[in-house]
Homo-oligomer: A and B are copies of this chain.
Amino acid sequence: RLKPTKIGIISRFDNEESLNVAYNTVKYLESKGIAYKLDKGIHNALNNRLNANLMDDIQDISHIISIGGDGTVLRASKLIEGNEIPIICVDMGTVGFLTEFGKEDVYSAIDSVLNGNYTIEKRTKLSGLINYDFNDKNAGKKELKEMQKFISDALNEVVITTNNPAKIMDFEVYINGILAENVRADGIIISTPNGSTAYSLSAGGPIIEPTVDAFIIVPICPFKLSSRPLVVDGNSEIKLKIMKKSAMVVIDGNKEALVSKGDEITFRKSNSYTYFVKGSNFYNKVKKLSLME
């Protein structure tokens, strides 16, 4: 396993506890003589306590430490997009599905990485295009039409949802070019296996082990009573066509675009992955899920 050369630290900075864990982590890395850089938010927040380098470019970063909840991991995953940089995900006590280490495990996790004695889990991401075709060689090069764009890769899920809470939406769902379903619903979720324990689960989707090569399509409050979550092959091309009204495209919890009638959003497996330093066991996390309030 690759040993770290320079560690990037990304952290929540809106509470004292995260700041302290980040600070102590830095001090631990310094004691081990490991170079590090801090992401902008935590860099500013620790400015008065540390004279640290800003991580303004991730090209020379070998590993990331993410301190916070699943939201921080999703930010870290977005930050390293396309680069094979393992993330050490540390949570702050709240139940996280993406985090692999408790804050009490942070030093031992760092030690394992320093010793090269760790396992990496490669997680699939979902890539999306609005009004493009993945097979179009000019995709992204053409001048931008009214709404024609690449959207960020999703580690958990993409949600296409009404931005008018009182009104139902209509979608056509195509799998590999074949009309699979007409969906009337408040919205629709396309989830990775990784995202199966997040929003997809609340909407009625199954729990899927991260290694299964598949995506989940889950309608939100579907009108049709016979509607069921659908697990499609990970090599499928999934296309949603907006049949009425306008909708929000929400990626891993962030609003990314507004689409409207006639727009098509096409998804397939991303060429890049997110790499996690493996800590706790999947089923231990599933057990915690059932106790979450």
Contacts and interface: CB of A to CB of B under 8 A. Distances in A.
A291 interface: yes
A107 interface: no
A52 interface: no
Contacts of A175: 209, 283
A196 to B, nearest CB: 8
Contact of A214 (B221, B229, B230, B231): B231
Interface in A159-211: 159, 161-163, 165-167, 175, 178-182, 184-187, 193, 196, 199, 201-209, 211
A291 B292 contact: no
A222 B220 CA distance: 11
A175 to B, nearest CB: 7
A262 interface: no
A227 B211 CA distance: 21
A206 B217 CA distance: 10
A105 B216 CA distance: 33
Contacts of A221: 199, 202-203, 220-221
A153 to B, nearest CB: 17
Number of copies: 4
Interface residues of A, number: 64
A186 B203 CA distance: 10
Interface stretch (A21-29, A136-144, A246-254): A246-254
A175 B208 CA distance: 13
A221 B175 CA distance: 25
A165 B248 contact: yes
A180 B230 contact: no
Contact of A212 (B161, B199, B202, B212): B212
Contact of A201 (B178, B208, B225, B234): B225
A179 B283 contact: yes
A187 B220 CA distance: 12
Given A165-B248, A208-B230, A209-B214, 7 more contacts: A186-B202, A204-B204, A211-B233, A214-B214, A225-B289, A226-B226, A231-B231
14 contacts: A162-B165, A166-B250, A175-B283, A180-B286, A202-B222, A205-B206, A206-B228, A206-B231, A208-B231, A214-B214, A221-B221, A225-B289, A225-B292, A227-B290
